[in-house]
Each structure stands twice: as C-alpha cells, then as structure tokens.
Amino acid sequence: MENLDDLKSELVAAVDAAATLGDLEEIRISALGKKGRVTGLMKGLGSLAPEERRDAGQNLNIVKNAVTAALESRRDALADAELDAQLEADRVDVTLPVRPEVEGRLHPISQTIDEIIAIFGEMGFTVAEGPDIEDNFHNFTALNIPPEHPARQMHDTFYLPEQEDGTRKLLRTHTSSVQIRTMQTSEPPLRIIVPGRAYRCDSDMTHTPMFHQVEGLIVDKSVHMGHLKGCIIDFCRSYFESPDVPVRFRPSFFPFTEPSAEVDIGCSRSGGTLKIGAGEDWLEILGCGMVHPKVLEACGIDSSEYQGFAFGMGIERIAMLKYGMPDLRAFFDADMRWLRHYGFASLEVPTLLRGLTP
C-alpha cells in the first residue's frame, strides 16, 4: 500500500490550493468519491491479513478524516470569499442621481404599514421591533403555547439547524414574540405596535411562506375589553376611511389571550367584486383578546396588578381589502408592471390630518 502520510499531505495540499468550489468538488470526488483514491484503498483492505487490516484501516481513517476536515474548512473559506466578491460586485452607489426612466414606487406593504403607524401613532402607540430569527421561548412557550401544539410542528414552522446545545432556532411564526421581548425589557405601562415579517411553511393561493403582520399590545393597571373594542373599531374606521364600516367581535380562542375574539368587518360581494362597508357578508381581519395572566407572569409582570390587551392582524389581507388587489402572490413577484399599478408615490407620507391615501 502506498505511503499514507505522503498521500495525506498530497491530498490536503491539493485541497488547500483549490481556487474555486468547483475545483474543490473535483478533488473531493477524486479522493473520497465512489472511485476515489482513498475509497479505493478502503476497498482494498478486505484482501489484507486481519492484523494488517486493523492498522491499515486506522491509518486510512486518519487520512480520510484529515481530508474531510481540510475540505470543510476550505469550503467555508471559498464560500466566504465568493460571497464577499459577490457583495462587492453588487454594491449600489446610492449617491447617483435617479435615472429618469426609473420611477420608484412604494410597495403597497410599505404604504399599508405607514398608514397603520399613522393611525396607532395618533392613539399613543409606539413602534417596537424584534428579531425574525426567534427561539422557542419567545415564539411559543412564553405565549402559553404548549409543546404539543400543532403550530410547533416542522410542517408549520421553519426551524434552523440544531445548535451546539441541541436547541433549534426558528423563523418567527407571528409577531406575537415581540410582545414577550417588550414585556421582558420594558416596565409597564406599555403601548406598542409591531409591524414586521412572519414565516410559515405554507404556500398556496392565499398563503405565502413569508408574510407581514402587525401586533398590538397594551399593558396597564385598568385596561379592559371595552378599551380593546374601542381601539379596534376606531382603527377599522380610520384605516378603511369610512366612519360607518360595520365591525363585529366574535368569540374565539388563542392560547395567549383570555377571553379571545376575532374581528370581522362588513362587506358585500356582488357581481364578483368585494366592497367594504354595509352588506350581507363578513370578513375576518384580526385576532385579539385580553393578555393571558400566564403570559404576563412569563415576562415577570405581576398579573394581579396589571392586565392588557393584544391583537394581531395580517397586513397583506387588509391591504388587499382596501386597495382591491385580487392576488396575494403578486405581492412578492417583484413585477414592475404590478408595482407601477398598485404602488404609491414615495413622498406622500400618510397622516390622519391630510388623509391616509394620496
């Protein structure tokens, strides 16, 4: 059998000298692939005498492990370098003047978020944020969602690879995780909204794997369901710019609120068009309720002293309703024709005084 030390040095040197990920893959195949040199030697072990075979086997494993480790570290280094080069090449010079043929438009999601902030801002809410990559505690446990809850399953939640301590992070499935972060880090009274992205393993006509929500949370000493109703009804009337849009509260269930409700707005569907306002039909737009005492306690807030209400609403949904956009998936196609049609002028900032929409 050939000198394994020499073989190891030769292969590791080849790996270290590989200039591209493609070259690296070729070296891997020629060493460890089905017909690779190391694999070939492994296959040859069978023909050795038993005592020779043990030693040779161990030595071959040393070679194999050294080559594998070298491959991994070279692969990381090359991937980093490739990404750096790509980022460098992609650099955009934001100081260049706008090309006249490019007319920038605000995406309807940005416009809708601005409108939501204008309305809740007027009511005294501030905007809070949290990370898109969350842990089980903030996304589920602290929100009183039990371990066996279906939302925790792989087919509903995007989990990241396992970490060293055996836990797995996840892409937050709702903005409710930011309720927890805010209550952990700030003293009540609290009055926040959280516009942001959420992620679920779901893709069809009415679901995209990434979507937007706005969460709301108030925590104070004497908050009650009447405040929740007033706040939501006011929001709906302002947002749909119609003082008499019917709003209905329907009892519901969420693990993090008790009691819980879903809110519908009145609409009519005639001749294939959907119209917000009085009509024979109802459309669900959000979930809400009084914050469950267990959720307050999980964040170190004394539930005998404080209570609160919360709500969560899908942003695409209410944008589609207000602006008559029939197709959810078009939001994320990055089609300039769609954006030219449904986008908004970038300098028209929504305010309640001047009107939300240009």
- Between CA 338 and CA 330 the distance in angstroms is 7
Q: Are strands 190-199 and 126-127 parallel, antiparallel or unpaired?
A: parallel
- Between CA 167 and CA 33 the distance in angstroms is 32
206, 247 Cβ separation under 8 angstroms: no
Question: Quick one: angle between helices 50-89 and 21-32, nearest 10?
Answer: 170
Which CB sits closer to ligand DAH, 134 or 215? Answer: 215
Q: Binding mask 174-193 vs ligand DAH (x if CB under 6 A, - otherwise)?
A: x-x-----------------
Which CB sits closer to ligand DAH, 16 or 129? Answer: 129
Which CB sits closer to ligand DAH, 239 or 311? Answer: 311
Name the CA radius of gyration of the chain, rounded. 29
Which CB sits closer to ligand DAH, 48 or 233? Answer: 233
Q: Does the protein bind ligand DAH through residue 254 (CB under 6 A)? A: yes
Which CB sits closer to ligand DAH, 157 or 238? Answer: 157
Contacts of 206 (CB under 8 A, 6+ apart): 328
Structure tokens at 250: 């329907």
Q: Does the protein bind ligand DAH through residue 288 (CB under 6 A)? A: yes
Residues 136-175 touching ligand DAH, rule: CB under 6 A, are 174
For ligand DAH, the binding residue among 113, 301, 310, 356 (CB under 6 A) is 310
Q: Does the protein bind ligand DAH through residue 287 (CB under 6 A)? A: yes
Which CB sits closer to ligand DAH, 266 or 312? Answer: 312
Contacts of 254 (CB under 8 A, 6+ apart): 260, 287, 289
Q: Which of left, alpha, beta for 272 (phi over 0: left; psi -120 to 50: alpha)? A: left
Q: Does the protein bind ligand DAH through residue 219 (CB under 6 A)? A: no
Listed ranges 67-75, 234-242, 310-318, 322-330: which one lies at the site for ligand DAH (CB under 6 A): 310-318
Residues that bind ligand DAH (CB under 6 A): 174, 176, 215, 254, 257, 287-289, 310-312
